[in-house]
């Protein structure tokens, strides 16, 4: 009979257990809601890389006021020796060459930020140079015409015309920038400390002012040609190379066969060679499908022999 109180208490224990289950479910629901809310807040929070750097933004605004933007249409007027605003003597120009994902593989961001920071210091320096900027992503034809790579700086000394209206040679130096380690101090030193003199002046075919291509105007045409080639898909180029190489092999093989037949002075061999050349085939052993190949001839002779035996 001692078991009776325990039996009588079972319904109460079951009711208490039923009351505890909803409480546990509610706690789990609150925990899941809190997790979802935290994850949504974390995903909606702006990434650190997407927040613009105020220093870089201010430097970019300052640079826009002092830097000329070169294009295919205005580069002749902007970089014109002896312009009305030129100082007596020689004009010093610093052209910054940048690009995007295609022309610079996405590596010009750091160099461009350092260039923008250096613009204010260059503009405030003694005998400040003229500053210009060329974006190869937006102006690919001009970059191809001058064979420019990004990031880099083109240092130019543009002389004014002489009394007889002749123009002296223009000094051009190409200075390649380290896309990850360049600093604004390095760019300022090109003018302030004349570090550009460490580079030899360029006097080759691609000189933008005194080169043979520039004097004849062919550099712009060549720039357009290179730009057009860059627009061709790679698969089309590979297909053209494949078809061209096969055509050359067929033509050269037929020519060699004809030449070998002439050396043998065998009329039958010359006739076979002319047939193979007419079919565009190479050596007969390499083309069993050709009507003049030995394998086709042997097969025909076997069929004819079997018919003769049957008759």
Dump strand ranges (E) for the chain: 67-69, 90-98, 130-135, 152-159, 171-176
Q: What is the pLDDT of residue 7?
A: 52
More confident residue, 282 or 232: 232
Q: What is the pLDDT of residue 285?
A: 45
Q: What is the pLDDT of residue 23?
A: 53
* Angle 26-30-36 from CA coordinates, rounded to 5°: 145
pLDDT digits (tens, 9 = 90+) for 73-85: 999 889 876 654 5
Q: What is the pLDDT of residue 173?
A: 96
Span between the terminal Cα atoms of the chain, in Å: 120
pTM > 0.75: no
Count Cβ atoms below 10 Å from residue 4 Cβ, excluding itself. 8
Q: Which two tokens stand for residue 12?
A: 């109460």
Dump strand ranges (E) for 199-288: none
Query: Which of 14-28, 221-235, 262-276 has the weakest average pLDDT?
Result: 14-28
Q: Single out the residue of 143, 154, 145, 45 nearest to residue 100, CA to CA.
A: 143
SS3 20: helix
More confident residue, 261 or 109: 109
Return mean pLDDT, the chain. Answer: 76
- Find tokens 């250096």 and name the residue: 118
């Amino acid at each position: 009979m001692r078991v009776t109180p325990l039996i009588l208490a079972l319904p109460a224990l079951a009711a208490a257990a039923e009351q505890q289950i909803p409480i546990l479910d509610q706690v789990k629901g609150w925990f899941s809601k809190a997790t979802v809310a935290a994850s949504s807040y974390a995903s909606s929070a702006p990434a650190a890389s997407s927040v613009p750097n105020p220093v870089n933004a201010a430097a970019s605004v300052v640079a826009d006021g002092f830097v000329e933007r070169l294009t295919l249409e205005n580069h002749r007027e902007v970089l014109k020796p002896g312009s009305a605003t030129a100082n007596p003597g020689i004009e010093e120009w610093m052209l910054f060459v940048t690009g995007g994902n295609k022309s610079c593989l996405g590596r010009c961001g750091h160099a461009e930020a350092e260039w923008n920071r250096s613009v204010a210091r260059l503009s405030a320096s003694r005998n400040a140079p003229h500053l210009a900027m060329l974006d190869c992503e937006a102006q690919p034809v001009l970059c191809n015409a001058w064979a420019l790579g990004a990031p880099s700086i083109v240092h130019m000394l543009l002389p004014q015309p002489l009394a007889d209206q002749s123009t002296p040679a223009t000094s051009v130096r190409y200075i390649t920038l380290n896309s990850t380690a360049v600093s604004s101090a390095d760019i300022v030193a090109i003018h302030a400390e004349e570090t550009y003199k460490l580079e030899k002046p360029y006097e080759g075919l691609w000189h933008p002012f005194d080169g043979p291509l520039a004097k004849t105007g062919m550099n712009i045409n060549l720039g357009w040609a290179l730009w057009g080639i860059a627009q061709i898909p790679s698969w089309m180029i590979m297909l053209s190379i494949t078809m061209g190489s096969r055509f050359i092999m067929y033509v050269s093989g037929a020519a060699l066969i004809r030449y070998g037949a002439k050396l043998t002075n065998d009329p039958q061999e010359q006739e076979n060679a002319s047939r193979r050349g007419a079919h565009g085939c190479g050596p007969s052993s390499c083309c069993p499908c050709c009507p003049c190949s030995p394998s086709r001839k042997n097969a025909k002779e076997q069929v004819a022999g079997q018919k003769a035996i049957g008759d």
